Amino acid sequence: MKELDAKSITVNSKSNLAFTLLCLPKERRKDMESFYAFCRVVDDIADEPGFTCEQRMQMLDEWEKGFLNGFLDPNSLQSEVLALREKYTIPSELFVEIIKGMKMDVCGTEYVTFDELKRYCYRAASVVGLVCLKIFDANDPRSKDYAINLGYALQLTNIIRDVGEDYKTGRVYLPDEELEKFNITKEDLMGSANSRAFLDLMKFQADRAEYYFKKAEAYMCEGDYASLRAARCMARIYYLILKKIRKGRFQVFEKRYSIGKFRKILALLGY
């Protein structure tokens, strides 16, 4: 995979998270670019075409072992992330959990129960939030619960939005027991897209994502309110996306839901 610097990876991603970094002070924004670049690189290892499962697992193993035992030949990004770990006293285990989340994607997306899916969401999103707390300088113990629950909300919104795209690549993140509850099989997920059962299934998913948005908000504390500005912006953007998906009646096989740049700017400003 081509090696890029952290800022280039962040800018090129055009992601919602990258956008929210604009509200951070310069030094913390630069540090978040390094962390985001790490997240982007390990996610690309799991998803980017051109590699076998064995190659993906080997590359992720190298990242995991590097955090635990040191990198044999650290490249620029690895050095940046290790420096970040030391600067903010971030436990190596948090980085390893993120990598384990990417390994779950490589191994497949068979989730029988929501508890199994929730474990994936924790690794793929909640742990990212826990690392961000360190970089944002958010120190109230309640902020950990905020980060964990917001991570669930964001990842569940991603899963809802990307049902169609994921299905086309052979991935179904919706738990088996919930598909069964609404009498939908994985094989017929696309064919059921406009059915009452599918709409009920997706409403069930959206209600749960909204529950975690509200649960996260309940843990927002006054002391860390300013420090968590970027996180609050992420929450607003993704909640707006969730609302748009609902309003559009879950046409996730026909389109990818997003909000415009102007609306994102308003979210960044707190509106």
pLDDT tens digits for range 203-251? 999 999 999 999 999 999 999 999 999 999 999 999 999 999 999 999 9
Domains and CATH numbers, the chain: 6-268 (1.10.600.10)
- 188 pLDDT exceeds 50? yes
Contacting residues for 38 by C-beta, under 8 A, at least 6 apart: 77, 81, 95, 98
Tell whether the model's pLDDT for residue 67 goes beyond 90: yes
Residues 64, 157, 132: CA angle, nearest 5 degrees = 45
Instruction: Dig out the tokens for 245 from the structure.
Output: 């998906």
pLDDT above 70 for 13: no
* Per-residue pLDDT tens digits for 135-180: 999 999 999 999 999 999 999 999 999 999 999 988 999 999 999 9
> In a 10 Å sphere around its CB, with 0-12 CB exposed, 13-18 middle and 19+ buried, how is residue 13 labelled?
middle
Kindly tell me if the per-residue pLDDT of 1 is higher than 50.
no
| pLDDT score for 111 | 95
Task: Give me 111's structure tokens.
Answer: 């989730």
